[in-house]
Structure 1
Amino acid sequence: MGSSQDNTHTAFFYGTLMAAEVFFTVCYRSATTNVAILKKMHQFKPAILHGYCRRRVQYADYPGIIPDPDHEVRGVYVTGLTSANLYHLDQFEGPEYDRKTVKVRLLSKVGDDKGNGNAEGEEVECEVYVHNKPAELEDREWDFEEFRTQKMKKWTREDYGFADSDHFSPQIIENGEKDAVVCK
């Protein structure tokens, strides 16, 4: 279990949760704590997971990963996760994902989208969510930039990186996508 002495956990995120705004919305949806304090609790570091490939989930804004010895997935290694954070993450990911313990390599230098120029450093153990229905994955890579620029706003609490607002009402979004964290 990717946990450390201070009873916190670590995880590798490769999809929507790479965006800090989505991560904080999922883990602290109803938090009233100052955002700056919450942000100090976690470190986000670029990392790579070998032996998996990332694919877009059909009819969805988010990806899944499945084991694949010929590929690797670039993402973010996050520290300082509490048991409550993991509970919210498990709820967010839902039954189509299994939480597994894996080893990732931190990137001391981040290369281009194809991985050219990546410099791999320390290997660390952490949790990751693996998609358990490979037939639901498209035969194409998921595009984080497209998500960030076109879709992310409907996945986040507006005070986590967007214009100030105190109007947060969760709603179900089109295509039956994940509904727990969406704001109007």
Structure 2
Amino acid sequence: MSDRTHAAFFYGTLMAPEVFFTVCYRFSTDNVSLLKSLHDFKPAILHGYCRRRVQFADYPGITPDPDHEVRGMYVTGLTDANMHHLDTFEGSEYDRKTVKVRVLSKVGDDKGRGNVEGEEVECEVYVFKNPNHLEDREWDFEEFRTQKMKKWTREDYGFDNTDHLAPQAVEDNEKTAAV
């Protein structure tokens, strides 16, 4: 293990800090405020890729496509242990690749109108291996956040404006599907 930190671009479920902290610190008993202080989340854009919903899943995949771009989160302060948890979470459906993204100094609307791109930075991203398993439609983050995210998070990793994360009953089959 090294002392070096990593950066990554997240474009799906991990854009939600609640999911990221659940994946990277699921069993941690550390102070949540301390854990939150270790990482920076900044809106960013990845050119040359397309995001699609994975068939029969709550999450997306990206594939190279020169005519598209993907908006997501650039996250810094990742440790080797974080990367191990992320690799395990992403599993065999994805390859981790090094890419360059542009951090957004101003975030536009859902269509990207009004985006102002800033610094270009290098980071890791998980690219989907099987494009034929992707639906022919964009993955909807807001739909995930409001309808599915509660199955993907640890309840004590709440953030501002996330009242939909209040403890709710979840069926055992829903928990199994999310893991």
Q: 1:18 to 1:101 in 2, by over 3 A?
A: same
Question: Among the aligned pairs, what percent are the same residue?
Answer: 77
Moved over 4 A (4+): none
Tell me if the contact between 2:3 and 2:79 (Cα under 8 Å) persists in the aligned partners.
no
Q: Is the 8 A contact 1:92 1:178 kept in 2?
A: no
Q: 1:86-127 CA deviation, whole Å, 9 max, x = no partner?
A: 000000000000000000000000001111000000000000
Counterpart in the other structure of 1:99: 96
2:34 maps to which of 32, 37, 42: 37
Equivalent residue, structure 1, for 2:51: 54
Deviations along 1:6-51, one digit per CA (max 9) or x if unpaired, are 6000000000000000000000000000000000000000000000
RMSD: 1.9
Task: For residues 114-163 of structure 1, give each alpha carbon's deviation from its aligned partner in whole angstroms, at most 9, with x where no partner exists.
Answer: 11000000000000000000000000000000000000001000001144
Question: Contact conserved, 2:42 with 2:73, CA < 8 A, in 1?
Answer: yes
- Paired residues, what number? 170
Q: TM-score, normalised by structure 2?
A: 0.90
Distance 2:9 2:143 in 1: 20
Structure 2 stretches lacking a partner, 5+ long: 159-164
Q: What residue is the counterpart of 1:182 in the other structure?
A: none
Deviation at 1:177, TM superposition (A): 4.0
What is aligned with 1:63? 60
Residue 136 of structure 2 is aligned to residue 139 of structure 1: yes
Q: Which residue of 1 aligns with 2:174?
A: 173
Whether contact under 8 Å (2:44, 2:72) holds in the other structure is yes
**2:22 paired with 1:25:** yes
Distance in 2, matches of 1:92 and 1:22, equals 11
| Unaligned runs of at least 5 residues, structure 1 | 166-170, 180-184
- Letter aligned with residue 12 of structure 2: G
Letter of the structure 1 residue corresponding to residue 157 of structure 2: Y
Q: 3-state DSSP class of the match of 1:95?
A: helix
**CA deviations over 1:70-93 (Å, ceiling 9, x no partner):** 000000000000000000000000
Q: Distance in 1 between matches of 2:109 and 2:129?
A: 29
Aligned counterpart, 1:168: none
Counterpart for residue 8 of structure 1 = 5
Q: 1:87 aligns with which of 84, 87, 92?
A: 84
Q: Could you say which structure has the higher helix fraction?
A: 2
For 2:177 and 2:97, locate their aligned partners in 1 and report how far apart those are by CA, in whole Å. Answer: 23
Secondary structure of the residue that 1:152 maps to in structure 2?
A: helix
What does 1:101-120 correspond to in 2, within 5 Å?
101-120=98-117
Cα distance in 2 for residues equivalent to 1:30 and 1:172: 21
